[in-house]
Structure 1
Amino acid sequence: MTQAAGTLGANPAHPRVAVLFHRFGPYHVSRLQAAARHMALTGIEFSGTDRTYAWSASETFPFSRIVVSPDSDAERVPALFRKMTAALDRAAPEAVAIAGWSNPAALAALLWCTRRRVPAIVMSDSTEIDEVRKPWREAVKRRVVSLFSTGLVAGAPQRRYLAGLGVQNRLIREGFDVVDNEHFATGAATARRDAEALRRQLALPPRYFLASCRFVAKKNLFVLLEAYQGYRGVAGGAAWDLVLLGGGPLETELRAAIAGRGLVDSVHLPGFRQYPELPAYYGLAEAFILPSTTEQWGLVVNEAMAAGLPVLVSERCGCSEDLVRPGVNGFRFNPFAPRELMGQMLTIAGKDCDRMAMAQAGQAIIAEWSPDRFGRALRQAVELARNAAPLAPDPIGRWLAAALLCRRERTDG
């Protein structure tokens, strides 16, 4: 277990709060930095390794930081439990904010809170439609979630789901899923000032739709290709290109589909790009598309709006209700209906579409979803938790949380 100390969050008048994520990527750091202005914050990473996102490791953090394990996914449960206990004992928080409720490290932290009678805040962007909900699993989840005092969720659909699991609506705050808007707005504006040279440097076409995601099934990229092929067939020589930014296990199949549809010259795959490089790709694009069949939120939509792009967002994305105002800053679409997406691409790219007005509307909307909103909302959730009557630990909820943790050990063993 490692620890590093930063300079923010040292005001003794602020509550001591531990905030737990699997691993700190750029999105987490900007949120935690903002939260550290509102509380004495210790950031706790479950793991120093992330097997899903290839973020570059950051060496400096503007807050106190503890890493529970070099690779929490490889830890046996007893060792993980001991390390989480040691991390939280060292931080000595007055409240603990935990991302999610199913990860073994999250469960270990929640059980620590119940033993120490420290209020726990669940941070969640889950919605009712993320996956098929089985009644027995939801019943188990309700008992585990009952161990949390308050919640910090992404937006309206996430609030409804958490309230449905038993957290009182008055104890839920919104603002979990935010990005550093300034990073994307400033970077995109800089890219546009030197657009011609930057396009040559990055090998980008003159005009393009942008999608940025992992190449996995739920991102629905094959339907996007079908819609894009239809769009090109109607738009003809005026058609924009398509840039698919990212990488993942479906890349080989995706390249084959691009070739099979005759789109090799118009669909571009620059690969995965690190956080500092992203604003340029947004800044040189004309519009952004997120076609996922399921998405708890979709932070790339925040990024695109901050960068000043109209957005086309699947109605199955958790952010679509809060961030997309149809006809104002973009459109929502059924991700299983490629012709619907094709029509919206034609609309956005059409000569009668005021893309500048859409871009400005999007930037105005996303200005309300800044890292400081996360910090303020988390502080409110902490105060609600600290001022509420202490929860009598639900013995069934504790038993179920422990059973779920032990189930990981049996599965791995």
Structure 2
Amino acid sequence: MKISFFTNMRTPYRTQQIDTIAANTECEIDIYYVAQKTSTRNWKLDRTRFCSESDINTASFFNKIQTIFKIVKNSDVILLGGHEYIDYVIASIFSILLRKKQVLLCDGISAERLRKEKLSFLKKVVKRLLLKNTRAIFGNGNVTKQYFVENWSYPSKNIFNQYLTVDTKEIKKLSKESHIIKKALREKYNILPNKNVIVYCGRLVELKNIKIIIEALAEYENKDGMVFFIIGGGKEQEMYQEYAQEKGVQIVFTGFLPDPKDVYKQYFIGDCFILPSYSESWGLVINEAAAAGLPILCSTHVGASLDFVIEGENGYLFSPYDRREIKEVIHKLFYMNDIKKMGEISQRISEHWTFEDSSKSFNKLIKSIE
């Protein structure tokens, strides 16, 4: 069976996921990238070992249509990375016309979309048409399943968990030396051993809602004992640095780290992880933090929260708009819980979310549509 996979761009996690799937299936998988590489995600990347890869984002519109038609015509299954790019829609339409099996891959849905979603009438009609002709969905986590079942009445039996993740094996290997790494990093960034470190990892854009963490810590009764540690950097770094200084909050930035292994090490400096996003389809940084053994403080709008945060056991959820609630969950975590035990629960959750799990689930999906 020949599968043509249309996705946006190369990423470290996708390369590992597809390689694991391809190594454990009899299917032939060809990958087609439809988006330009962004300057904010300049990762160090390897190519896949078991799949062919092609970029179709540089072709003219007319040539692109011809290229997509040929790809679909010569395929048995079309795996689409969504519906947001015109390339996906074109491939989907050709799949319908040529009667090819169509599978939708969904990396997650920002959790607030379970309650409300604003789409124009035309977009709703198009989406219903595309979903009607979708044989199965390879969707990430409970949030995806709930979204398609509750919002679009899609059959739950045709939705298979994608288990999209990161290199948890590498993180687990690093965790054997976590105390050594933690000591070295605290010395590097001049963070005293008695300080409580809250880690964030990601871009510094407004959607990530970093400012509210600074505001919550500024009002925290023991703010001098806290450090807000940000894995990342960018043009907004100076602005946040100045704002934190104005509020009397200690903040540390690593700067952009292109190698995922360097990113993984940074988690071990922390006592907990926080993700305050206004909107987040999934949040693979949650996978990373959990694998590193950190308790999780997470916005209710983050897709991964439904699978990775067990309230009061390995972390807490909060509204991304309520800094008082954020201050309260920080207090609960540090003064009413066994942080080490919570971190161990996070690790156990991550152990059931691997590339091998993704591969097994994909094979079940393929068997269901044969």
* Shared fold, TM over 0.5: yes
Q: Is the 8 A contact 1:178 1:370 kept in 2?
A: yes
1:335, distance to aligned residue in structure 2 (A): 1.0
Structure 1 counterpart of 2:157, one-letter code? R
Q: Does residue 83 of structure 1 match 2:72?
A: no
Cα 1:342–1:384 shift into 2, 3 Å:
same
1:24 matched residue in structure 2: 10
Q: Is the 8 A contact 1:296 1:318 kept in 2?
A: yes
1:249, distance to aligned residue in structure 2 (A): 5.5
1:54 matched residue in structure 2: 41
Cα 1:52–1:147 shift into 2, 3 Å:
farther
The counterpart of 1:308, out of the listed 256, 279, 293, is 293
- Give the unaligned 5+ runs of structure 2: none
Structure 2 counterpart of 1:138, one-letter code? K
SS at match of 1:96: strand
Deviations along 1:198-234, one digit per CA (max 9) or x if unpaired, are: 4334655544110011111211111111112122xx1
SS at match of 1:325: coil
Measure the CA separation in 2 of the matches of 1:62 and 1:161.
33
Structure 1 counterpart of 2:79, one-letter code? A
Deviations along 1:165-219, one digit per CA (max 9) or x if unpaired, are: 2431111111343222112222243343343234334655544110011111211
Measure the CA separation in 1 of the matches of 2:65 and 2:153.
27
The counterpart of 2:167, out of the listed 170, 180, 184, is 180
Measure the CA separation in 1 of the matches of 2:38 and 2:266.
25
Measure the CA separation in 2 of the matches of 1:288 and 1:198.
16
The counterpart of 1:211, out of the listed 190, 196, 200, is 200
1:65, distance to aligned residue in structure 2 (A): 2.1
SS at match of 2:54: strand
1:129 matched residue in structure 2: 112
1:128, distance to aligned residue in structure 2 (A): 6.5
The counterpart of 1:101, out of the listed 66, 83, 91, is 83
1:361, distance to aligned residue in structure 2 (A): 0.8
1:327, distance to aligned residue in structure 2 (A): 1.1
Q: Is the 8 A contact 1:184 1:303 kept in 2?
A: yes
Q: Is the 8 A contact 1:288 1:312 kept in 2?
A: yes
Q: Does residue 320 of structure 1 match 2:285?
A: no
Cα 1:380–1:204 shift into 2, 3 Å:
farther
2:99 matched residue in structure 1: 117
The counterpart of 1:230, out of the listed 219, 228, 232, is 219
1:144 matched residue in structure 2: 130
1:193 matched residue in structure 2: 180
Q: How many percent identity over aligned positions?
A: 19
Moved more, 248-257 or 281-290: 248-257
Measure the CA separation in 1 of the matches of 2:324 and 2:30.
45
2:270 matched residue in structure 1: 285
Structure 1 counterpart of 2:81, one-letter code? A
SS at match of 1:97: strand
Measure the CA separation in 2 of the matches of 1:284 and 1:330.
18
1:366 matched residue in structure 2: 350
Q: Is the 8 A contact 2:110 2:279 kept in 1?
A: no
1:57, distance to aligned residue in structure 2 (A): 4.7
Measure the CA separation in 1 of the matches of 2:218 and 2:30.
46
1:394 matched residue in structure 2: none
Q: Does residue 246 of structure 1 match 2:232?
A: yes
2:320 matched residue in structure 1: 335
Cα 1:357–1:39 shift into 2, 3 Å:
farther
1:270 matched residue in structure 2: 254
Q: Is the 8 A contact 1:19 1:41 kept in 2?
A: no
2:338 matched residue in structure 1: 354
SS at match of 1:129: helix
Q: Does residue 153 of structure 1 match 2:139?
A: yes
Structure 1 counterpart of 2:83, one-letter code? W
Q: Is the 8 A contact 2:231 2:263 kept in 1?
A: no
Q: Is the 8 A contact 2:208 2:277 kept in 1?
A: yes
Cα 1:40–1:205 shift into 2, 3 Å:
farther
Measure the CA separation in 1 of the matches of 2:18 and 2:104.
15
Cα 1:243–1:41 shift into 2, 3 Å:
farther
Moved more, 105-114 or 122-131: 122-131
Aligned length: 361
Moved more, 325-334 or 133-142: 133-142
1:94, distance to aligned residue in structure 2 (A): 2.5
Deviations along 1:230-268, one digit per CA (max 9) or x if unpaired, are: 22xx1154x2211112235643432332233233xx101
1:82, distance to aligned residue in structure 2 (A): 2.6
Q: Is the 8 A contact 2:163 2:353 kept in 1?
A: no
Cα 1:128–1:261 shift into 2, 3 Å:
closer
Structure 1 counterpart of 2:299, one-letter code? S
Measure the CA separation in 1 of the matches of 2:13 and 2:339.
27
SS at match of 1:173: strand
Cα 1:240–1:189 shift into 2, 3 Å:
farther
Q: Is the 8 A contact 1:209 1:285 kept in 2?
A: yes
Measure the CA separation in 1 of the matches of 2:332 and 2:85.
42
Moved more, 195-204 or 354-363: 195-204
1:126, distance to aligned residue in structure 2 (A): 2.5
SS at match of 1:214: coil
SS at match of 1:222: helix
Structure 1 counterpart of 2:277, one-letter code? S
1:79, distance to aligned residue in structure 2 (A): 2.4
Q: Is the 8 A contact 2:212 2:323 kept in 1?
A: yes
Measure the CA separation in 1 of the matches of 2:31 and 2:285.
24
